[in-house]
């Protein structure tokens, strides 16, 4: 082996290892310099160059991202959750047992294992457009629940589209959204169940983003010339004011249907409208007061009865019939503050239906305070109602008051909460309220108590107990209990004397 061949082959090995990241021009320049200095012959240089090119051709290409996103997508966020639940409930009906009746169930208990799966994709696009999609489990496509009960011999379960919306924010503080979307309002489960994703149009104006509503801090130095930096420990005071308006389609009717007198219009779609003025006053870092008055209105139409046969609504305790006579003033709010480092929130909600008397008489009635029994021998032929009654203030009114101590954000966080509520028969829409409290029934009152603990940053264990009983006992007939004479309503909305619900949850976010 000659003295020249040693560095030549060493150079070949070095260039072969480093060829992929080097430029071809740099390789050739190095080889040419070695030839000029006599270290390499021209033949050796050509041989090295050929070997380097051969090695480069055999080097695998670096891995590439297989997920392709258009350059108009500024942000794409994927997320989801799985919740396991054991739910036990116990209830007794309003309807009394008839003499000698042997087939009547006057006490009902259930124990169910359930799960909920949600998959979310939220995106932001160029031009201030945004949107989102959510897929979720559900029990027969129920509007107000994403729970799926386990059972039926290891059956597979359906996935539903629970959100599909697009939005546009042409200016900071001005937003438009269309489609099936998250609830845009500040609310409680007494009026809007958290699982309900309304469908339609929403407009929002955030006045505090259009105008500076902060106060209580100096913006300039004492000489009035140079801006003064705020003290690092001094918190900001601000008033946030937002106007939120929603126009939602609740039921799509065939415009060629005949108009039915006295039961609402079946030839026009059923719509829900809500407009809210959301105000939040922030006083320092430890105190915030939120008040969000709103007006909820429905049109004179029919949901669920226009078809032939009738089309069933899929929520847990549906009212299938006229959506009219709902002119409801809402006033939810809260006061949030700190006790030491522990966050505390005192919250409330109020609802009053100014058209409640008409809804009682036209949609839910006639209602009675007593029943008698038709009997032929030992056979029971019906539960005829007697002593017709009318609505009172408590039937048109609903309220909730409660407190929550702590919050659940990271491992070790602990929260306890409790509230009292009273819900009159005509006070809120029975298709929107939560199915957890009193199994979604109206004409009820009671408490909710619960606690939640963060096992990890992403996993939470919770226990919640609901205890409720009838606001007006011995309420029979019509949409309340569906007693005979038969009502055209397929599902009763106030059938219980009492309901207990116990839920044990384990939730994992990913």
| Tokens encoding 361 | 């008489």
Q: Which of 153, 152, 144, 228 is nearest to 189 (CA)?
A: 144
State residue 14's pLDDT score: 52
State residue 189's pLDDT score: 95
State residue 261's pLDDT score: 46
State residue 218's pLDDT score: 44
Residues 285 and 289: their CA atoms lie apart, in Å, by 12
Q: Are 503 and 463 in contact (CB under 8 A)?
A: yes
Mean pLDDT value across the chain = 85
Q: Is 284 helix (H, G, I), strand (E, B) or coil?
A: coil
Q: Is the dihedral of CA 431, 203, 187, 353 positive or negative?
A: negative
Omega cis (within 30) before 417: no
Q: Is 480 helix (H, G, I), strand (E, B) or coil?
A: helix
State residue 237's pLDDT score: 87
State residue 26's pLDDT score: 65
Residues 33 and 423: their CA atoms lie apart, in Å, by 92
Residues 136 and 159: their CA atoms lie apart, in Å, by 5
| Tokens encoding 119 | 């998959």
User: Which residues 6+ apart lie within 8 Å of 312 measured at CB?
Assistant: 304, 318, 320, 490
> Where does 357-495 show beta strands of DSSP type E?
367-371, 374-376, 379-382, 385-389, 397-406, 414-423, 444-454, 459-470
Percentage helix, strand, coil, to 5, in the chain? 15, 45, 45
User: Which residues 6+ apart lie within 8 Å of 291 measured at CB?
Assistant: 279, 331, 333
pTM assigned to the model: 0.81
Residues 328 and 318: their CA atoms lie apart, in Å, by 19
Q: Going from the N-terminus, what domains does the chain have, and what CATH number goes with each? A: 5-58 (no CATH), 73-216+236-509 (2.40.160.10)
In the predicted model, residues of the chain with pLDDT beneath 70 are: 1-27, 55-65, 98-104, 215-235, 258-264, 305-311, 374-383, 482-491
State residue 47's pLDDT score: 78
């Amino acid at each position: 082996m000659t003295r020249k061949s040693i560095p030549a082959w060493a150079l070949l090995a070095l260039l072969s290892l480093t060829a992929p990241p080097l430029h071809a021009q740099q390789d050739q320049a190095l080889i040419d310099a070695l030839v000029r200095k006599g270290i390499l012959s021209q033949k050796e240089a050509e041989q090295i160059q050929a070997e380097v090119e051969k090695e480069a051709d055999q080097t695998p290409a670096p891995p590439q991202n297989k997920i392709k996103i258009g350059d108009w997508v500024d942000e794409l966020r994927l997320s989801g959750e799985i919740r396991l639940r054991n739910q036990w409930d116990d209830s007794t009906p309003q309807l009394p047992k008839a003499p000698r009746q042997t087939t009547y169930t006057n006490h009902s208990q259930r124990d169910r294992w359930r799960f909920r799966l949600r998959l979310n994709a939220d995106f932001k696009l160029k031009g201030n457009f945004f949107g989102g999609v959510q897929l979720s489990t559900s029990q027969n496509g129920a509007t107000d629940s994403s729970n799926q009960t386990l059972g039926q011999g290891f059956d597979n379960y359906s996935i539903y589209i629970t959100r599909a919306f697009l939005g546009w924010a042409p200016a900071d503080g001005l937003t438009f959204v269309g489609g099936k979307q998250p609830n845009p309002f500040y609310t409680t489960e007494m009026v809007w169940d958290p699982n309900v994703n309304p469908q339609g149009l929403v407009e929002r104006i955030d006045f505090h983003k259009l105008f500076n509503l902060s106060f209580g801090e100096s913006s300039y130095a004492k000489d009035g010339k140079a801006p003064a930096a705020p003290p690092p420990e001094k918190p900001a005071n601000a008033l946030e004011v937002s106007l939120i308006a929603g126009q939602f389609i609740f039921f799509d009717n065939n415009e060629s249907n005949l108009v039915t007198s006295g039961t609402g219009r079946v030839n026009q779609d059923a719509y829900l409208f809500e407009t809210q003025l959301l105000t939040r006053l922030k006083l320092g870092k430890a105190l915030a007061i939120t008040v969000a008055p709103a007006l909820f209105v429905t049109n004179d139409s029919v949901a669920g009865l226009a078809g032939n046969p009738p089309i069933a609504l899929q929520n847990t305790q549906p009212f299938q019939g006229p959506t009219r006579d709902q002119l409801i003033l809402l006033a939810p709010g809260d006061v949030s503050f700190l006790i030491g480092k522990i966050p505390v929130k005192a919250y409330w909600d109020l609802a009053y239906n100014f058209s409640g008397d008409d809804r009682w008489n036209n949609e839910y009635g006639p209602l009675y305070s007593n029943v008698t029994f038709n009997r032929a021998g030992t056979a029971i032929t019906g539960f005829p109602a007697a002593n017709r009654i009318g609505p009172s203030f408590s039937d048109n009114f609903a309220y909730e008051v409660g407190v929550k101590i702590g919050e659940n954000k990271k491992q070790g966080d602990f929260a306890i909460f409790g509230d009292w509520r009273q819900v009159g028969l005509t006070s809120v829409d029975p298709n929107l309220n939560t199915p957890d409290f009193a199994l979604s029934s109206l004409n009820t009152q009671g408490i909710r108590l619960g606690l939640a603990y963060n096992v990890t940053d992403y996993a939470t264990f919770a226990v919640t107990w609901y205890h409720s009983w009838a606001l007006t006992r011995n309420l029979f007939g019509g949409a309340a209990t569906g007693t005979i004479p038969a009502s055209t309503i397929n599902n009763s909305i106030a059938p219980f004397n009492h309901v207990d619900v116990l839920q044990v949850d384990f939730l994992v976010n990913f």
